[in-house]
Amino acid sequence: MKITDKTALAALEPAEVMRWFLKLTEIPRPSNHEEKIAGWLCDFAKARGLDVYTDETRNVFMKKPGQCGGEKAGTVLLQGHTDMVCEKNRDVTLDFFKDPLRVYAEDGKLRAEGTTLGGDDGVAVACMLALLDSKDIPHPPLECLFTAAEETGLDGATGFDASRITARKMINMDSESLHEIVSGCAGGVRTDLTFRTRAFFLTKEDTGLEVSVLGLAGGHSGENIADGIPNANKVMGRLLCALWEQMPFRMYTLYGGAKDNAIPRECTAGIALTRKRKAEAVKFLTKTFETIRSEWPDRHKGARLEIRDTVPLRAWNELFTCKIIRLLGTVDNGVFEMHRSIPGLVGWSRNLGVIQTLPASLRFVFSTRSDRPSQIDASCTELSGLGEIYGAEVKHYARYPGWIHREDSALRELWMQTFRDKTGEDMRNLVIHAGLECGILSEKCPQLDIISVGPDLSGIHSPDEALDIASLGVFWNVLLAVLDKLCKKQ
């Protein structure tokens, strides 16, 4: 049964968390635009007499004394980010800057109609709010850090004045698997390759085609990079390179993907060519796409190619077109190397996440990840070299450190034992190929014993995002039990 009524949704267990999560879905919070959620959080704190601090990066930091026996226990830092990846299906009319998400529950999952849900990392925010609002839940003194702009470069954590943190234990709640506890992560960097563009008038013999690769699964560019998910930008590169071998054409637009940390689901290219070769081009592109799609497993069979007629007035010249499609078709993307000491973990990767056609430029945005700074350096050097060869301006930015795994962690052992006591099941301890704010905060506060945990979330960074409601209940109960145990370690 599909549940859309807000009252019924708020009654879903754990209700004390669910009601705050639903409130978050009504507050716009795209990355780098967290003003509304930051203001709302400050009002929340002031209404409850909590110590609150906010900064120019839109981070919010609250403190609450221990209660119900935890008054003299050691302080615990809880942390999560307020921003969300704003992705939606093409046919969805929703303004992420103004409109509430259309949330519903079905088959034990919480979702949003045609958009991302914001469980990444609304779960953490809702859990912290529930604890900060409570009067009868035993917990130690709490420091709650709500960071901004995590999804676009961990900027909030980077800009936060960590000297305000007094805790020695930190629970980050930005993980997506109930049975996994994360104790290390990769570092990364973003790279822009920007080309200056100039368009030229077409002749009367020319016409246009808009070629779109649609319906790919998408996913997180770190955690899902080894899952065999096709990158729509790279698929387009393969199509255009193949077409270039058959006939001349000129491009006039190219855009794909929305976030560098998401594997692109869609890509569209505008091309101009002679009218007499249009039908041939359509036939060739259709056949080539079907060949490519036949290489993918069944879960990607919903991908499709759409081609429609256009009438462009101008297009880039053939030399520039050739440079762009050669770069698009040949630049390395995906997994470069598996981790050399942790079986099954990706060690080094790159994602071509965004292509944007702007009024006088064309921009490619890459995300490189590795726990080895030398490999990140190597990727930057390679992309700088490609920029020099192809004539692009290159910018490397938003670099962040990895989080080094600690062999001994009392907090990790406490969480895993508590989970085992509550569920009768074991957790898997792992290091992930994704950026977490834990890396930045551990570098700033080496004294912190840090873990990253969370309920089951699937399809993050895509409109397929879903929160498993039952797992949220288990997660909340384990969190409360861990805090209760820490109250008794005074």
Annotated catalytic sites, by residue?
83, 150
In the chain, the amino acid numbered 27 is I
- Spell out a b/e string for 54-78, using b for 16 or more CB atoms within 10 Å of the CB, else e: beebbbbbbbbebbeebeebbbbbb
CB of 206 within 8 A of CB of 271? Answer: no
Amino acid in position 450: I
* Beta strand ranges found along 127-177 (DSSP E): 142-147, 169-172
Helix, coil or strand: residue 224: coil
Enter the tokens of residue 36. Answer: 């509304």
Q: How many Cα atoms within 13 Å fall on the side-chain side of residue 53?
A: 13
What are the CB-based long-range contacts (under 8 Å, 24+) for 2-5?
2/104, 2/105, 2/106, 3/104, 3/105, 3/106, 4/102, 4/103, 4/104
CA–CA gap between residue 433 and residue 448 (Å, rounded): 21
* 192 CA to centre of own chain: 18
Give Cα separations from 481 to 182, 318, 400, 422 (angstroms).
19, 65, 33, 9
**Ramachandran region, residue 58 (left: φ > 0; alpha: ψ -120 to 50; beta: rest):** left
Distance CA 470, CA 250 (A): 53
Q: How far apart are the first and last CA of the chain?
A: 47
Which residues make Cβ contacts (< 8 Å) with residue 389, sequence separation at least 6? none
Joined together, the tokens standing for residue 100 give 């509430």
Token output for 478: 């384990």
Q: Are 351 and 333 in contact (CB under 8 A)?
A: yes
- Residues 6 or more apart in contact with residue 12 via CB below 8 angstroms: 3, 18, 105, 110, 469
Cβ-based neighbour number of residue 421 at 10 Å: 11
How many Å is the maximal CA-CA distance in the chain? 82
Of 116, 445, 388, 45, the residue nearest 261 (C-alpha): 116
The Cβ-side half-sphere exposure at 447, using a 13 Å CA radius, reads 9
Alpha-carbon distance 202 to 275, whole Å? Answer: 12
User: Measured between alpha carbons, how far is residue 282 from residues 41, 84, 154, 246, 483 in Å?
Assistant: 53, 38, 43, 12, 62
